[in-house]
Chains A and B, each alone.
Chain A
């Protein structure tokens, strides 16, 4: 497998430079290897693209905060690509990526001086296994989510936008919409149950085995 190492002076290679290297020229943009970068990237992209939703949800299950999830997910993506040369293809990629994600979550918590995670290490490892072995059907069925969101009434859509678009917690939403925090939490509960039911219904009717 090719090594993918970048010198400190790395910059994005120009197309002409990449063609020159592919044709046998020396790299001039701070990359230390000479094998086919495109193939390496293609493989990494293919694996990461399929694994990313599960890794993202796993990270979120631990940190709960959306912006923390974004930070850790980005760091995980970089770590996955940087160490892709150490990935052994006979091992499931998702399991490998989830291992990296666990380390990145720990690093993040330490770096940000955040409160400890709710779950202990043993439970985190157990959850990683569960996420890794989730069947693909429920994930595929989530493709109906957008359609189901479209069926929500205006008020429900607004609450969803405040929770998921603006990343507000129920108590903060309550302040914005003039409801009690408990009423917001209950309303969100109903909306999400409704969305789950809608997704299930659609996957049964239209068949989710794509």
Chain B
């Protein structure tokens, strides 16, 4: 194998070369313009492969995207359509620059504002909708079959949250019964339809039932999640046009789109739709979020904001008084 075969070009682009190999590779590029041209052509393909896959991600969340992006979605497979997608990409950049200004700066200040807004106000109830489940990797499947029972479906679950990491997650089992998990800030607990109520002083004991815990972005800790976006994500602020949910009819809404940076853990992409004036978040969307052996794309839609009472996050509120309590 020569230092400049296509295989070596791919290894350079994948960041798989040692320092010595990189040095040889540089010499090979310098040696002839044909070599440099071969490198440029392969890099064009590499770059285009990334663009195609990003476009796929855009298509999957097209409902949340701008009209300019929608132009990209409708592209055809003929090469002529390539020019269309380029035009759209250019237009998106220009629109970002002209319409939103320096998005990084404004998105960062918006995150601050959302953070302040979330630290106030009553308890919140979100409905969880699973849009997509990616198949688990074979390695995960084997491991989970050995050690863990399957989790009840998170689709359609209700998540009640309060400041101080207090939450109640209500999941429906196939037989119509409920499986509740929660934390009141002093103990965490789990209530299956049958058997003892499990209670633990370890506040994180039962939070594995809430998506996001695997990678430090638990859904019940909204403030922590927003902080995480600031450090581990590239954040852009987009306008939301023609919002069709009840919340956006009442006041204008905007969309924050955060794409995970390399080297950080967490869902690949997070979208937050919120009311412009109040900073009230009415929808979160997490793309490619780990949940047990699976990777989910899920939405949290705000369904209620009300004070749920002083004892709502205590386990005793959610089961009969004669249930056995098992402390762990």
Contacts and interface: CB of A to CB of B under 8 A. Distances in A.
Interface string A152-194: 0000000011011111011000001110000001001100110
B234 interface: yes
B86 A50 contact: yes
Contact of B50 (A74, A123, A164, A169): A164
A103 to B, nearest CB: 18
A2 B66 CA distance: 30
A96 interface: no
A179 to B, nearest CB: 9
27 contacts: A12-B100, A45-B94, A48-B93, A49-B91, A52-B93, A54-B44, A57-B47, A64-B13, A74-B96, A118-B12, A118-B25, A118-B26, A126-B29, A134-B44, A140-B79, A143-B81, A145-B49, A146-B77, A160-B53, A165-B53, A165-B268, A170-B14, A177-B137, A177-B139, A188-B10, A189-B7, A203-B79
A44 interface: yes
A101 interface: no
Contacts of A165: 53-54, 56-57, 268
A41 to B, nearest CB: 7
Given A52-B86, A169-B14, 12 more contacts: A41-B94, A65-B15, A66-B50, A69-B50, A81-B94, A118-B12, A123-B26, A130-B37, A146-B75, A165-B54, A165-B56, A192-B10
Interface of A: 10-12, 41, 44-45, 48-50, 52-54, 56-58, 60-61, 64-67, 69-71, 74, 77-78, 81, 118-120, 122-123, 126-127, 130-131, 134, 138-147, 149-150, 160-161, 163-167, 169-170, 176-178, 185, 188-189, 192-193, 195-196, 199, 203, 208, 210
Contacts of A48: 90, 93-94
Contacts of B80: 143, 210
B324 interface: no
Interface string B19-31: 0001001100110
Nearest to A178: B139
Nearest to B11: A185
Interface residues of B, number: 66
A119 B80 CA distance: 34
Contacts of A60: 13, 43, 46-47, 50
Given A123-B29, A185-B14, A178 B137 contact: yes
Nearest to A41: B94
SS class of chain B's interface: helix, strand, loop or mixed? helix
Interface in B47-72: 47-54, 56-57
B41 A164 contact: no
A196 B15 CA distance: 20
Contacts of B98: 12, 41
A70 B36 contact: no
B288 A141 contact: no
Contacts of A74: 93, 96
The 10 A-B residue pairs with the shortest CB-CB distance in the complex, in nearest-first order: A143-B79, A143-B82, A49-B90, A165-B53, A178-B139, A57-B47, A164-B53, A130-B36, A77-B93, A61-B43
B40 A142 contact: no
Contacts of A11: 101
B147 interface: no
Contact of A210 (B56, B79, B86): B79
B39 to A, nearest CB: 7
Given A69-B47, A127-B36, A192-B10, A44 B137 contact: no
B310 interface: no
Grouping DSSP codes into helix (H, G, I), strand (E, B) and loop, the A interface class, with mixed when no group exceeds half, is helix
B226 to A, nearest CB: 20
B44 A57 contact: yes
Contacts of A64: 12-13, 15
B53 A192 contact: no
Contacts of B82: 140, 142-143
A85 B25 CA distance: 39
B6 interface: yes
Nearest to B35: A130
A193 B40 contact: no
B15 A169 contact: yes
B39 A67 contact: no
A57 B10 contact: no
Given A143-B80, A170-B16, A177-B137, A78 B97 contact: yes
B288 A166 contact: yes
Nearest to B141: A178
B99 interface: yes
